[in-house]
Amino acid sequence: MTEAAHPDDRSVLLVVDVQNDFCPDGALAVPGGDAVVPVINRLTASFAHIVITQDWHPPRHVSFASSHPRHKLFEVIPVSYGDQVLWPDHCVQGSDGAALRQDLDTRRAELLIRKGFHREIDSYSAFFENDRRTPTGLNGYLRERGLTRIFLAGLALDFCVRYSAEDARRLGFSVCVVEDACRGIGSADSLASIRRALTEPGVVFRRSDDLSRAVG
């Protein structure tokens, strides 16, 4: 097995955007998004370190279709940093939709990273805004704490989890995606394609039952 197969004291569970708006009945619901919560809650017992991210958009954010009256929902438009999907208004700062799921166990989380709070730039990755240059500060935090191995869980696999995994590998971290602790927006075929693409730079995929805390 690769190094990322089992968590140890250098490992961190990175829980991505498990928020009301990404779960059933939310503004941008991921199918089955709420199903990740009990899996993540079980996983927390195996990790000494846990970090959580939270999408945190101001009103009239650049990613909202409502900010572009001449364009349609889910249309892709060019912006200063590249292509931008136009989403429904979601995870607006201070709203119920932006709140973390109430049943998500956050008691042992050491850090909460809020992203997407700049009005003119979107942010999928836990590490960088979508220009892939503006940092969130997570890289420095993990380096200073000596945490080099990242286990990813949360929403959505084909957007924020994917970008976080890509950036983590680009920064030299060991990365494991916990498959049953994630859900995606796309079709089964598109998710399979993303899985294949992520394995090329060395991301590994495991199920939560395959993970166990290193002893000794």
Catalytic residue among 17, 21, 55, 89: 17
Catalytic residue among 160, 167, 176, 182: 160
The DSSP string of 97-155 is TTSBPTTS--TT--EEEEE--STT----SSSB-TTS-SB-SHHHHHHHHT--EEEEEEE
Instruction: Let me know if 131 is a catalytic residue.
Output: no
What is the C-alpha to C-alpha distance for residues 207 and 108, in angstroms, rounded to an integer?
A: 22
Catalytic residue among 23, 55, 89, 115: 115
Instruction: Let me know if 160 is a catalytic residue.
Output: yes
- Residues with Cβ within 8 Å of residue 33, at least 6 apart in sequence: 18, 22, 23, 24, 26, 155, 156, 183
Q: Provide the annotated active-site residues.
A: 17, 115, 160
